[in-house]
Amino acid sequence: MKQNITVRLAAPEDAPLFASWATENMDIPDEDIKAVEKSNALVLIIEVDGKPEMYLPLIPAMTIGYLGFNPDQDIRTRAIVLREMRAALGRLQDELGIKYAYVHTKAEYPMGKWAVKNGFKKTPKDAFVLERN
Measured CA to CA, the distance from residue 123 to residue 102 in angstroms comes to 10
Residue pLDDT, tens place only, 77-106:
999 999 999 999 999 999 998 999 999 999
Domains of the chain, by residue range, sit at 5-58, 61-117
Q: What interhelical angle do 15-24 and 30-38 show, nearest 10? A: 160
Mean pLDDT of the chain: 92
Please write the tens of the pLDDT for every residue from 11-47: 999 999 999 999 999 999 999 999 898 888 999 999 9
pTM of whole model > 0.85?
no
